[in-house]
Amino acid sequence: MRICVYGAGSLGSAIGGMLAEQHDVVLIGRAANVEAIQKGGLELRGVIQKKVAAEAYPSIDGLAPPDLMLITTKSYNTRAVVEACRGWTKADTKVLTLQNGLGNIETLREWLGPSAFGGATTMGASLVSPGIVKIAGVGRTVIGADIDRESAVCISSIFRKAGMPSSVATGIDGEIWTKTIVNASINPLTAVLRVTNGALLESRATSRLMSEICLECESVANAAGISLPVASVYRRARAVARETGPNRSSMLRDIELGRKTEIANINGHICLVGARVGVATPLNRALVAMVESLESPPAEKG
């Protein structure tokens, strides 16, 4: 099967690298990572250790369309991906989003309808350097089977055969919201405090704040009619922070590297839904303001 991973950063490269041994994989990513993969292949470290050959390019220009496309870009780039790929994919191409945040699957379905699939993964990956990705854990990937179960089962099987535990779920919205709430309670705090994920559990104050953020987000989800698949998202968030203890979150890394974060698509989107369903979101609004202030240059005096 020809598979395109659009957004070959840490997660996209890790997944693409694991799929490449059994499938014809092409990675679309930033120039530095693409050049390193073109020259020396893609090296996977951590719980998976191997070096694989994979096609890598900075854009889809001139490439044959895929049977399956995985989108792992930053969520604020989703519409740009749609515009870049409009007219490129085949009539039977399936597209799966494994991005952070909310709103991605809705954007993709505006484009492809039932050929777009929502997904959520707990794989932990970090880009050590261009061409080298460390996989802290393969985690679990859930594929949405709410519209086309047969295709979802097929995609899930592709992941499992490549060594990534996977299942399908009809309630994919709940899975996506759960992952988003976990991210909302970990990522911005690490970015503001400049600490690793695990450090959040070392303080009663930050642990309590994580709990209160989760409760606020759950209130929004419940009011919006989202059925969350876990009894306590806070317990899930603590487990994720513990399992990824040494990790510096993607949001923290974005701040450190001077890049735009996904705060608007995570906590910001929760605020938008909260306003629509009549649930106040003061904690999420505060986190959005703090992270956005770190993204922006200091205001000029005058």
3-state SS, residue 136? strand
SS3 content of the chain, % helix, strand, coil (to 5): 50, 20, 35
Q: Are 237 and 47 in contact (CB under 8 A)?
A: no
Q: Which residues contact 69 (CB under 8 A, 6 or more apart)?
A: 3, 4, 5, 6, 85, 89, 93, 94, 95, 96
If we measure between CA atoms, which residue out of 12, 58, 75, 28 comes closest to residue 261? Answer: 75
3-state SS, residue 230? coil
Q: Are 44 and 50 in contact (CB under 8 A)?
A: yes
Q: Measured between alpha carbons, how far is residue 113 from residues 66, 81, 184 in Å?
A: 17, 16, 28
Q: Which residue type is seen at 15?
A: I
Q: Phi first, then psi: what are they for 112, rounded to 5°?
A: -115, -5
CA dist., res. 61 & res. 268, Å (int): 33
Catalytic residue among 74, 94, 134, 179: 179
3-state SS, residue 262? coil
Pair type for strands 50-52 and 42-46:
antiparallel
From edge to edge, which strands make up the β-sheet containing 50-52?
50-52, 42-46, 132-137, 124-129
Q: Is-catalytic flag, 90?
A: no
CA dist., res. 4 & res. 165, Å (int): 20
Q: Which residues are catalytic?
A: 179
